[in-house]
Amino acid sequence: MRKKAKVKSKKAKIFIAIFAVMLLFSTVKAEDGYRLWLRYDALPEQNARIYRKQINSIYLNLTAGTSADVTLDELKTGLKGLLGLDIAGNSPIKNGLLIVGTPKSTKYIADLKLPLGNLSKEGFIIRSATIQNKKVTIIAANDEIGTLYGAFHFLRLLQTLQPISNLNITEKPKIKLRMLNHWDNLDGSIERGYAGKSLWKWSELPDKIDSRYRDYARANASIGINAVSLNNVNANAQILTPEYLKKVAAIANVFRPYGIKVFFSARFSAPMELGGLLTADPFDQGVKNWWKQKAAEIYLVIPNFGGFLVKANSEGQPGPRTYNRNHVDGANMLAEALASHGGIVIWRAFVYDMKPGYDRAGAAYENLQPFDGKFASNVLLQVKNGPIDFQPREPFHPLFGAMPKTNMMPELQITQEYLGFSNHLVFLADMWREVLDSDTFAKGKGSTVAKVADGTLFGSKLTGIAGVANTGTDQNWTGHDFLQANWYSFGRLAWNHEITSQQIADEWIKMTLTREPKEVALISKILLTSHNELVNYMTPLGLHHQMWGGHHYGPAPWWNTYSRDDWNPTYYNKADEKGIGFDRTKTGSNTVSQYFPAVRDEFSDLKRIPDKYLLWFQHVPWTYKMKSGKTLWEELALHYQNGVNWARQTRKDWEKLKGKIDDERFERISRKLAIQERDAIWWKDASLSYFQSLNQLPLPKGVEKPLKTLEDYKKIDLLDDFARGIGSFDENHK
C-alpha cells in the first residue's frame, strides 16, 4: 500500500508540475514586439533579490495629471514587473526608500542641497544617500519632467542588471530640442513609411483618443525625445484649419505630461489656400498678418505648441523664392509670427535646383551659406547629415561648421528609405556616430559636427536634432523587430551624443531581447557590423544613389530615364569603360572646396582620401591600385561579395539563437533575414553585371558570378517582385 501511495504521490507531483508549466505559458503575453524596450518582465531572481533589499518603497508627492503622476505610474509598473513589488506612494523614511522629486516638492531633497543648479529643467541626479540613518536612493531634478527622465534612467539600470548600491549619476541633455519628424499624411498614409499606416487617426480625433498615443509618448520620454512634428514636410494646409487644430490639441494633451511638445509642418502657400489671399509673398503685409493671426489661434488651442517645420522651394513645394524672395525672408516672416508665443521655425536646408553642369551635393551650401547670421534667433536650420539625401554612407554635410552665426540642427533618417526599408537589418547608431564624430575643422581640430549640434562650438543658444520616424501601426511599431533599435538609438544619441554604439546596442538588446551574456554578445556583433556590411552590398567605396527610381528599393545603377539628371543613378556613378566615381575635386564640380581646408585637402588627394569616400569625390580608373594592392575593380567587387557573405553568416548566427529568443520574434526576424540575404545577392549581381558590361573585366577570385543576365536584372523591379511574392526566396539567390 505504501508503495502504491508513493507512486500516486509521484504522479500527482508530475501532474502539478506540468499543470504549472502549462499555466505559466498560458499567461505569458505573445511577444509581438509592442512593448519595445519597456518590457518590465521579472528579472532573474538572484538579481531581483538584491534589488529588493535596496528598493522596496517610494516617496513621491503628486500633482494629478502632471509629469509626477506619470512618473509614479511608471515606477510602480516597472518595479512591479521587474521586482514583483507592489508599491504605493509616499512611504515614510526607511531603508530601501526611493525618494523622487524636486527641492520644491520634497523637503528631503531640499535638505540634501544637491548640485542641481547647473542642470536644465530636464536634467536629473540619481544618488545613494543616508537620511535619518536610513539608506535611501534619490532621484532629484529641478522640474517634474527631469524626475520622469530620471525614473526611466533608473529603471534602465535595473533592466540591464547594473549595480545600484552606490549611485552617483548626474545627467542632462546635450541638445535642447530632440525631435521626431513624422512624414505622415492626413489620409493616414506615410511617405517613406514601412511599418503600416500613420499612428494619428485623424478621422477619430479629437473625440476618440487611441491608447497607442500614450504608449508612443512613454517610449519617446524613456529615451529623452521631447518634440514631435506630426505631419509630412510635403505639407497639407488643412492641418492649419480650426478642425485639425482641435485634433492636434488632443494629441498634444496626451504628450504634455511626458514632456513632449507638438510641432507640425506648415505649407508656405497656406494664406492662399485657406485665407483666400492672392499671394504668399513674405513681404506682403496681408500675408504677414495672416500668419500672425494663425499663430495666435494655434496657441489658444495648444498653449505649449512648439512651432513650424517648413520645407520650402524644394521638390515642388511652395516657398519664398516663388516670389523672388530668399530663404531668410520666408523663415524670418514665420519666425516673427511665432516669436511672441515662444515658438520656433525649423527651416529645412534640403534645397536643390537642377541646372546645367551643377552638382546636387553642393546645392544646399550654395543656397544657404551666404545668409549666415541673417536668420532670426528663433529659427533652426535643419540640415541632413550628408549633402545628397540619406544615403547608406555620406560624408558630413559641408554646411556644418560653415554657418557659425546660424542655429543649426542635424536631420537624420530613422526610416530606411535608401537602406532596404523595413526588410533589412541595419543598426544606424554607427552611421550617425560617424557623422557626429566627423571633424569640420571650422575652428581647428576637434570642431566636430556634434559640437555644432550641441552649440558648444559657436555658442548657439537654440540647439536641436531631428530624426525622421520609422514608426507606424504595425504591432511591433517599426515593421522589423530589430529596427526598434534605431528609434532607441536616435533618442539616446540625441540626449548624449558621446554614448558609444556598443553601449546603446547592449542596452537595447538587454531591455528588448535577452540578458544572457553569450546571446547579447552575438546579437551585438550582428548589430555593430550591420551598417558597414549593408554599405558593402549596396554602395561600397563611396558610391551613392544607386537605387531603383521612385521607391528606392533595390539596385539600378543603369537608371537614366528621369528628365532630371540628378534623380538618375548614372548621374552619381559616372561609370564608363575607363572608370567610375563623381569627380568633385578641382578637375570636376569642385564642391569639395565647400569644406574647410584640412578636410578639402584630404578628400581631394587620391592617395589620402579614405576608401569609404573614394568614389564620392573622385572619378577613378578601374585599374587604379588601391591601398590594399588590389585594383579598384577587384576591391569594389570584393566589397560587394563581403556584404553578401555577412548576410549569409548573419542568418546562420541568428539560427544559433533558436530557443534562446521567444519563438514569435525569432521567426519574424528569421523571415526578414532571408529577404535581406536575397536582396544582398541581388544588389551584388545586378551592380557588378552593369559595371562589368562597361569595363569588360573579369571578376576577381572569391567573387561569385551573377546567376542572371544584366537584361534580367534591368527588367525586374525588386520591390514589385517582393510584393507579388515571385522569387522572394528564389533558390538561385539563397
Under the phi-then-psi rule, with left for phi > 0, alpha for psi from -120 to 50, and beta for the rest, what region is 178?
Answer: beta
CA distance 181 to 38: 22
How would residue 15 be classed by pLDDT, with cut points 50, 70 and 90? Answer: very low
How would residue 4 be classed by pLDDT, with cut points 50, 70 and 90? Answer: very low
Q: What per-residue confidence (pLDDT) applies to 19?
A: 42
Burial of 537 (0-12, 13-18, 19+ CB in 10 A): buried
Among 153, 171, 189, the domain-final residue is 171
For residue 706, whether the previous peptide bond is cis, meaning omega lies within 30 degrees of 0, is no
Whether residues 224 and 348 share a domain: the answer is: yes
- Residue 529 is placed in which grid cell? 557590423
Average pLDDT over residues 494-498: 98
Neighbours of 340 (CB within 10 A): 11
Q: What per-residue confidence (pLDDT) applies to 14?
A: 44
Tell me whether residue 13 is in a domain.
Answer: no
Whether residues 550 and 577 share a domain: the answer is: yes
Do the Cβ atoms of 127 and 114 come closer than 8 Å? Answer: yes
Q: What per-residue confidence (pLDDT) applies to 492?
A: 98
- Residue-wise pLDDT tens digits, 657-687: 999 999 999 999 999 999 999 999 999 999 9
User: Between these two residues, 721 and 375, which has the higher pLDDT value?
Assistant: 375
Whether residues 400 and 482 share a domain: the answer is: yes
413's CB contacts (< 8 A; 6+ apart) are 384, 385, 390, 467, 468
Number of domains in the chain: 3
Tell me whether residue 463 is in a domain.
Answer: yes
Query: Which three-class secondary structure state does DSSP give residue 499?
Result: coil
From the candidates 41, 187, 315, 576, give the one annotated as an active-site residue. Answer: 315
Whether residues 215 and 307 share a domain: the answer is: yes
From the candidates 122, 417, 566, 634, give the one annotated as an active-site residue. Answer: 417
Among the ranges given (82-91, 135-144, 176-185, 244-253), the one the predictor scored with the smallest mean pLDDT: 82-91
Q: What is the DSSP letter of 650?
A: H
Average pLDDT over residues 200-222: 98
Whether residues 489 and 541 share a domain: the answer is: no
Tell me whether residue 597 is in a domain.
Answer: no
Tell me whether residue 34 is in a domain.
Answer: no
Q: What per-residue confidence (pLDDT) applies to 24?
A: 41
Do the Cβ atoms of 393 and 431 come closer than 8 Å? Answer: yes
Strand 97-101 to strand 57-59: parallel, antiparallel, or no bridges (unpaired)? parallel
Q: What per-residue confidence (pLDDT) applies to 103?
A: 95
Q: What per-residue confidence (pLDDT) applies to 355?
A: 77
Say whether 315 is catalytic. Answer: yes
Query: Which three-class secondary structure state does DSSP give residue 328?
Result: helix
Query: Which three-class secondary structure state does DSSP give residue 381?
Result: strand
Q: What per-residue confidence (pLDDT) applies to 23?
A: 39
For residue 365, is pLDDT > 50? Answer: yes
Whether residues 235 and 167 share a domain: the answer is: no
The CATH number linked to 555 is 3.90.1330.10
| Percent of the chain scoring above 70 in pLDDT | 94
For residue 232, is pLDDT > 90? Answer: yes
Whether residues 88 and 161 share a domain: the answer is: yes
Average pLDDT over residues 403-427: 98
Whether residues 413 and 483 share a domain: the answer is: yes
The CATH number linked to 205 is 3.20.20.80
Tell me whether residue 488 is in a domain.
Answer: yes
Among the ranges given (9-23, 66-80, 350-364, 491-505), the one the predictor scored with the smallest mean pLDDT: 9-23
CA distance 411 to 108: 42
> What radius of gyration, in Å, describes the C-alpha atoms of the chain?
28
Among 171, 188, 209, the domain-final residue is 171
Alpha-carbon dihedral of residues 33, 34, 40, 41, nearest 10 degrees?
-50
Tell me whether residue 549 is in a domain.
Answer: yes
- CA distances (Å), origin 177, targets 61, 450, 597: 28, 14, 31
Strand 134-140 to strand 344-348: parallel, antiparallel, or no bridges (unpaired)? unpaired
Tell me whether residue 507 is in a domain.
Answer: no
Tell me whether residue 275 is in a domain.
Answer: yes
Q: Where are the strands (E) in 50-123, listed by range?
A: 57-59, 97-101
Whether residues 156 and 219 share a domain: the answer is: no
Residue 307 pairs with which residues in a beta bridge? 263, 344
Q: What per-residue confidence (pLDDT) applies to 729?
A: 40
Average pLDDT over residues 81-102: 92
From the candidates 144, 389, 679, 685, give the one annotated as an active-site residue. Answer: 389
Cα angle vertex 161, ends 158, 162, to 5°?
A: 85
Q: What per-residue confidence (pLDDT) applies to 723?
A: 67
Phi, psi dihedrals of residue 195, rounded to the nearest 5° = -140, 35
- Residue-wise pLDDT tens digits, 570-600: 999 999 999 999 999 999 999 999 999 999 9
- Residue-wise pLDDT tens digits, 288-344: 999 999 999 999 999 999 999 999 999 999 999 999 999 999 999 999 999 999 999
Average pLDDT over residues 391-409: 98
- Residue-wise pLDDT tens digits, 690-719: 999 999 999 999 999 999 999 999 999 999
Among 110, 142, 171, the domain-final residue is 171
For residue 442, is pLDDT > 50? Answer: yes
What's the mean pLDDT when you consider all of the chain?
Answer: 94
Look up residue 725 and give its amino acid.
G
Among the ranges given (26-30, 113-117, 390-394), the one the predictor scored with the smallest mean pLDDT: 26-30
CA distance 219 to 413: 18
The CATH number linked to 166 is 3.30.379.10
Average pLDDT over residues 231-253: 98
Average pLDDT over residues 603-621: 98
- CA distances (Å), origin 11, targets 1, 5, 17, 182: 15, 10, 10, 59
82's CB contacts (< 8 A; 6+ apart) are 40, 41, 42, 43, 48, 51, 155, 158, 159
Q: What per-residue confidence (pLDDT) applies to 5?
A: 45
Whether residues 190 and 150 share a domain: the answer is: no
Q: What per-residue confidence (pLDDT) applies to 66?
A: 83
Q: What per-residue confidence (pLDDT) applies to 29?
A: 59
CA distance 157 to 477: 24
Q: What per-residue confidence (pLDDT) applies to 724?
A: 59
User: 3-state SS string over 118-180?
Assistant: CCCCCCEEEEEEEECCEEEEEEECCCHHHHHHHHHHHHHHHHCCCCCCCCEEEECCCCCEEEE
Q: Which domain holds residue 75?
A: 45-171
Q: What per-residue confidence (pLDDT) applies to 1?
A: 43
Whether residues 160 and 306 share a domain: the answer is: no
Do the Cβ atoms of 579 and 619 come closer than 8 Å? Answer: yes
Whether residues 484 and 348 share a domain: the answer is: yes
- Does the pTM of the predicted model rise above 0.85? yes
For residue 25, is pLDDT > 50? Answer: no
